[in-house]
A and B are shown apart, each in its own frame.
Chain A
């Protein structure tokens, strides 16, 4: 059992000293703020107390969302100040505890709230939630307090929130995110901008994970927004044991960038709250008071650099904004709406035109204080009284789901009165597609009010039958409850059609990416593996390149070709045995082999016998490399970079399914870089080429020797004229290095290789990885013409091509003189590459195809796995269940070791579940293992 070092004790102790000191400073700052007696600041309650509580109600509703609540539940607010939100909270929770660092704030809150048996108030002297016992809170929230505190304070509260939260509880906080971070040790309370990754890491160290993120603080200064600062409300849920406060604080500040002077003038706590308060006043039409409040912000808060006037004008403009005037009469509204539908959704228009001619009488519209509501067969498709409010609630709850929140494109089933679509599109760049099964209901809705703005915001609208584009492009399907009831049978197939892509989130197959012993596809294997992980798959890479040395050594030992063939075969067989053993120990469900992976026919046959789905990404010219003929039949899926005859041939060779899947780029590596002058000197050139010295390249580039041309890569001759062009003794260039070359060169040549032809291959089809990588780097390239290039990029806009040596020379001369044009090409190519040609995209496409046909197989495999049984059995203990699920997602075997592998002594308090698992671990280690060893020894 590990022992605790004195250093750890003292470190914790010292952290506490610092926390206490910090608490004192924060207290002082809050007290100063409170003593100003500013409107809405909590110094004294504002004149319009009702407004204060009303804003508290509104903001708490945002915080609460659809989280569980009730009389048996407990909610805790960090930084309650004068208790603005506690009253609202007490209507939803049986016990509400307001915590504030300032005793003065607590006293003010006590005065403001009066006697409320559900509400408790407590001052926090050590930046923690001390009055709350372990695992007792359902909700901990902080509206704006945490976002203004120093990282150490945030860390301390985060850690203690983890302590007090029940396993099913949640922490909801508002924070500012951005790429730049300013933390000055002498500042105390002002909004902090965190890097999202840093915060997520800090949350993990605090024993939580970010379950949902929603945009918030709509009144954020445009100046800040322009600087890339965005506000978000995060939902954090317990997940693991917390590390020390110090470690969490460190994570919050780890990824800090250069200090940016323009961000040092971020508005302070008061400023933000006042701006929100002014917005509320303006919305109510109290323009004068809104101006007063903003004037106060300008004069009293440390926000001189803020464009208060801009905010004020925006707020007032918003308040005085007159809603689009209702078109008088149903007919006018219908005509206006139908005009938009006709323009944007002609297919829907045709159906709707007919629907209007033959009303069945099953649809009607009623009036409410919030606008008309549409009814179908006696059921209101909106809320019968408060359609707007209900739509807002539905939208916010729908987006609490992680999958929905992260989807850039959603398909909504049900148009209703259109309120929920307006809410869904509000403040978001999410693409919304809508499918309304009932043409008559949609027609009635269009006749009920002016929906032109709503219709214009939709990405697509289909009626009666869903639009295939919507099914292809939408990442998530959201079904209105009323439509689920009416159109359940229609909705089910829709869901099925999306299953292939939903498989990405519904399935957790264990994937292995098997790389080759050597060659260019080794790095493709790395990119593939990284992309799979990025899109949330349980994958592990099997890098075989380390075994290449042994493979090469065989050639040194054995001279004859026959002998070498025997030795190589035996070597691959040995690797196969090792891989089999590896998969025995750590089973997989899907094997993705890269081209030239050491996967023999026998190995693949055995994998399939074990129920493993096999896939090959054959990123090579099928005519040059023909080994697919022998092994294609052992693959369930083969993905190629060529079309036509390639696909047909591989199909004929017995592959299960063959699909075109072009190469891609990895934007994390292939990206624009700011190079130092020395680097630019070393790697740059007016004209560059990176790649091996294949025949056609040698033949063509010899003619460019008179140009300022650098050639990088291996297998180039050392004779003239190449001796002057080939760099660094024709050594192999690493990916990191060629990214520098791309970035440092004015014109990057990209000539696809050929061992047979001179110059440009006239029948070249596939697009090489270099094309995508150059594009992603934002580098200008001249690439030889390929028949499939036009499918990937718009030639002439995103890429410039050449068809012959003469053409190449002309293009070099032309583009050498036009740096702006080169830059425009490069920018467009990069945009396209990032949009359509990343490895993430490719893996999504690959898995969509695999899951589309193997969904049930993989699902059944997953359900019958020991993990599934364990997950089911551990339902009584949510934490154990979560551990099982996490370990399964990591691709671990269903063992105790897998369950405890991330429990680290000394990295925070162990939960009861963790302690019980560690108990079992030690029993296994000290009793079971020795007994087993003794038995085996005997």
Chain B
């Protein structure tokens, strides 16, 4: 794989937000350690997660950013702002003193980008900002991340974000799973919890995570009750419901609805390390796209996970082999994470019976195929998680889903990025000599136009370079070329909006343009030329891969 910064010695990894995100960073952290054995890795997380990070292997130091304090101070306004300002000032000084030589910001927030520019770390793998306050995303993999999570493009992406992150950090040698340390103390605490639970069943221990980060991603309690009843009553299962104290309002009605000694709530009874231990003791976890899902993956417990509403299995699915992922087939899904939903119809696409069936199947071993009669491919796609020959996580449909245009786009993009960004040899890399831009379907109609724009851009750059070199060319002429380039770029971006499946291409181009470096006009022109060349090349490859799928 192409590496931007092969050697790193003092690494800052910024992962401010959630436990799940932190767990998803573990292959990257392990890879950084494996490839740079002497490197010192510091993780900057929100203070409330700092303790959790101590159970994550390969981290040398954890720094907590007290966003709670900042928010409380800001909420006071007035001199609270000065308090918050002073705290930020201290944090910047603290981080500067560490003299990091590389930073991977895994958070796409504006405030972390600004913070990192203030700290002034020279080499970056993720988002930061420049001195003018603009966002900067130097790494093409990080640009791909930004492209892929751009809502309109999500459905065309099939690369798990864990892989995109690790590639942003140039990591090749990575474990094909997430990592967390489970301590003997935690295990024994959980064993005693289980032994005092009073189960009458003797069958598999099934953990259920009913809560989710958003209401619309949370399967209804009645469905969970139906599911658990099947598991406990028909399959002799012992069921434990996990969750944080805040989730008691979701879990308690489920436990009450089940009315079974074999259904026990562990809400509020486990710390994060103890939850990891409990999930390790469990035989399987039934969940949505949640932090506990990633934790179960990290401790090696298989999961059956439902990706409801805005959750998208390809993006944040379980990062280990042989888990089961269910993605409802519905026109509005995956929906925009920033919008609420008053009628989550996608929940109806998955039945308690199906989950119960898949759970029991998976308890028996990896599930390679499911009858469409059990899981109707018109309603839900059931996937098995797996790793491809390059070590990238993937989802394989197992309920007889026919190949549709979305699948073809996903496959084509997957091959394009692995080959173009990763420098990897993909299966259908033997492309025809001619770019082959013939219209393949309606979604790709704009491809020829984009390529024409990319070629026109390269011509304009030649003209620009001539203007720059020739002292006698009046400034107005340079301005005219600039205007032409601007118009061209707007057209490329608009073509992306117009032809949705092509937007990943145009968005990558936009990111390339906004991340030009330096101030020397000739050098800037050369970088711009490269952006147009990349766009033209990628369009050609994409068309070829699409045809080959």
- Among B78, B88, B489, B524, contact of A919 (Cβ-Cβ < 8 Å): B88
Q: B133 at interface (Cβ–Cβ under 8 A)?
A: yes
Q: Does B250 contact A (CB under 8 A)?
A: no
Q: A9-B524, A916-B85, A916-B92 are in contact. List 14 more A-B contacts (CB 8 A).
A: A3-B134, A10-B464, A13-B525, A870-B79, A896-B74, A910-B131, A919-B88, A919-B111, A920-B70, A920-B85, A924-B71, A926-B109, A927-B71, A928-B71
**Chain A CB within 8 A of B519 CB:** yes
Contact of A18 among B77, B475, B486 (CB under 8 A): B475
Chain A, residue nearest B136 (CB): A4
CA–CA, A915 to B74, complex, Å?
16
**Residue B104, interface by CB 8 Å:** no
Check A908 for interface membership: any CB of B closer than 8 A. yes
Judge whether A610 is part of the interface by a CB distance below 8 angstroms. Answer: no
- The answer to the question of B115 belonging to the interface, with a C-beta cut-off of 8 Å to chain A, is yes
Q: How many residues of A contact B (CB 8 A)?
A: 53
B75 CB contacts on chain A under 8 angstroms = 928, 932
Say how far B310's CB is from chain A's closest CB, in angstroms. Answer: 15
A348 nearest CB across to chain B (Å): 52
In the complex, B471 has a CB within 8 A of chain A: yes
Bound-state CA distance A24–B471 (Å) is 10
B89 within 8 A of A: yes
Chain A residues contacting B88 (CB-CB under 8 Å) are: 916, 919-920
Given contacts A909-B132, A926-B111, A6 and B519 within 8 Å (CB-CB): no
What 0/1 readout, one digit per residue, does chain A (3-22) give for beta carbons within 8 Å of chain B?
Answer: 11111011111101110010
Asked whether A1 lies within 8 Å of B134 as measured between CB atoms, the reply is yes
CB distance from A359 to the nearest CB of B (A): 59
Q: Does A873 contact B (CB under 8 A)?
A: yes
Q: How far is the CA of A916 from the CA of B90 in the complex (A)?
A: 11
**B67 part of interface (Cβ distance < 8 Å):** yes
Q: Name which residue of chain A comes closest to B74, CB basis.
A: A924
Query: Are the CB atoms of A915 and B133 closer together than 8 Å?
Result: yes
Docked CA distance A896–B528 (Å):
38
- Interface set, chain A 858-916, CB cutoff 8 A to B: 866, 869-870, 873-874, 877, 880, 893-896, 899, 903, 905-910, 912, 914-916
Please tell me which stretch of B190-198, B234-242, B316-324, B477-485 contacts chain A, meaning at least 4 of its Cβ atoms lie within 8 angstroms of it. B477-485
Query: If the complex has contacts A10-B524, A916-B89, are A906 and B489 also in contact, measured as CB distance less than 8 A?
Result: no
Contact between chains at B521 and A13 (CB < 8 Å): yes
Return 11 A-B CB contacts under 8 Å, by A number: A9-B524, A14-B478, A14-B482, A17-B475, A866-B79, A870-B78, A870-B82, A874-B82, A910-B132, A918-B114, A920-B81
Query: With the chains together, A4 CA to B489 CA distance in Å?
Result: 13
| Chain B residues, Cβ within 8 Å of A24 | 471
A922 proximal to B (CB < 8 A):
yes
Q: Assess the A2–B135 pair: CB atoms within 8 A.
A: yes
Name the contact of A1 in the complex, choosing from B74, B89, B110, B524 (C-beta under 8 A).
Answer: B110
Asked whether, in the complex, the Cβ of B71 is within 8 Å of the Cβ of A923, the reply is yes
In this assembly, does A113 line the interface, its C-beta being within 8 Å of a C-beta of chain B?
no
- Distance in angstroms between the alpha carbons of A877 and B78 in the assembled complex: 16
Shortest 9 CB-CB contacts between residues of A and residues of B: A866-B78, A1-B110, A13-B521, A922-B111, A905-B133, A4-B134, A922-B110, A873-B82, A1-B135
Known: A909-B132, A923-B67. A895 touches B77 (CB 8 A): yes
Contact of A16 among B85, B89, B514, B519 (CB under 8 A): B519
B127's nearest neighbour on chain A, judged by CB, is A1
Contacts of B129 in A (CB 8 A): 1, 915
Is B447 located at the chain interface by the 8 A CB criterion? no
- Decide: B133 and A17 in contact? CB cutoff 8 A: no
Task: Compute how far the CA of A746 lies from the CA of B389 in the bound complex, rounded to whole angstroms.
Answer: 95
How far in angstroms is the closest Cβ of chain A from B117?
6
Given contacts A870-B82, A895-B77, A916-B89, contact A11 B482 (CB under 8 A): yes
B386: interface (CB < 8 Å) = no
How many residue pairs link A and B with beta carbons under 8 A? The number is 160
Nearest opposing residue in chain B for A12, CB measure? B519
Contacts of B482 in A (CB 8 A): 7, 10-11, 14
With both beta carbons as reference points, the residue of chain A lying nearest to B134 in the complex is identified as A4
Bound CA–CA A18/B71 (angstroms)? 46
CB-CB nearest in chain A for B531: A6
CA A915 to CA B475, docked complex, whole Å: 33
A48 to B34 Cα, complex, angstroms: 73
Contact A923 B78 (CB under 8 A): no
Q: Which residues of B contact A917 (CB under 8 A)?
A: 85
Known A12-B519, A915-B117, A919-B115; judge A6-B475 contact (CB<8 A): no
Q: How far is the CA of A918 from the CA of B135 in the complex (A)?
A: 13
Q: Which residue of B lies closest to A920 (CB)?
A: B84
Residue A931 CB within 8 A of the other chain: yes
Task: Answer whether residue B113 sits at the interface, using C-beta atoms and an 8 A cutoff.
Answer: yes
In the complex, what residues of B have CB within 8 A of residue A2's CB? 133-135
Q: Are A21 and B471 in contact (CB under 8 A)?
A: yes
Q: In the bound complex, what is the Cα–Cα distance between A10 and B510 (angstroms)? A: 14
The reply to whether B132 and A6 contact each other, CB–CB distance below 8 Å, is no
User: A906–B134 contact, CB under 8 A?
Assistant: yes
How many Å lie between the Cα of A877 and that of B132 in the bound state? 21
Residues on the B chain within 8 Å of A919, using CB: 88, 111, 114-115, 118
Q: How far is the CA of A275 from the CA of B482 in the complex (A)?
A: 45
Judging by beta carbons under 8 Å apart, are B485 and A6 in contact? yes
Q: How long is the Cα–Cα vector from A724 to B313 in the complex, in angstroms?
A: 84
Q: Does B39 contact A (CB under 8 A)?
A: no
Tell me the minimal C-beta distance from A877 to chain B in angstroms.
7
User: Using Cβ atoms and an 8 Å threshold, which residues of chain B touch A17?
Assistant: 468, 475, 478, 521
Residues of B within 8 A of A927 (CB): 67, 71
* CB-nearest residue of chain A to B146: A3
**A6-B486, A869-B79, A924-B74 in contact; A14/B521 too (CB < 8 A)?**
yes
B178-211 CB contacts (< 8 Å) to partner A = none
How far does the alpha carbon of A877 sit from the alpha carbon of B84 in the complex, in Å?
13
Instruction: Return chain B residues, CB-CB under 8 Å to A18.
Output: 475, 478
B123 lies within 8 A of chain A by Cβ: no
Least distance between A592 CB and chain B CB atoms (Å): 27
Which residues of chain A have C-beta atoms less than 8 A from B486's C-beta?
Answer: 5-7, 10
Task: Report yes or no: B114 in contact with A915, Cβ–Cβ below 8 A.
Answer: yes
Smallest CB–CB gap between A25 and chain B, Å?
9
Q: Does B347 contact A (CB under 8 A)?
A: no
Chain B hits for A918, CB < 8 A: 110-111, 114, 133
A877 contacts across to B, CB distance below 8 A: 85, 89
CB closest residue in chain A, given B338 = A930
Contact B118 A6 (CB under 8 A): no
Q: What residue in chain A is nearest B77 (Cβ atoms)? A: A895
Shortest Cβ distance from residue B137 to the other chain A in the assembled complex, whole angstroms? 9
Task: Answer whether residue B516 sits at the interface, using C-beta atoms and an 8 A cutoff.
Answer: yes
Closest beta carbon of chain A to B549's beta carbon, Å: 32
B475–A880 CB distance below 8 A: no
Q: Say yes or no: is B513 at the interface (Cβ < 8 Å to chain A).
A: yes
CA distance A434 to B411 in the complex (A): 89
On whether the beta carbons of A923 and B133 are closer than 8 Å, the reply is no
Nearest-neighbour CB distance to chain B for A549, whole angstroms, equals 36
For A870, give its contact among B81, B92, B516 (CB under 8 Å).
Answer: B81
B102 to A: closest C-beta gap in Å:
21
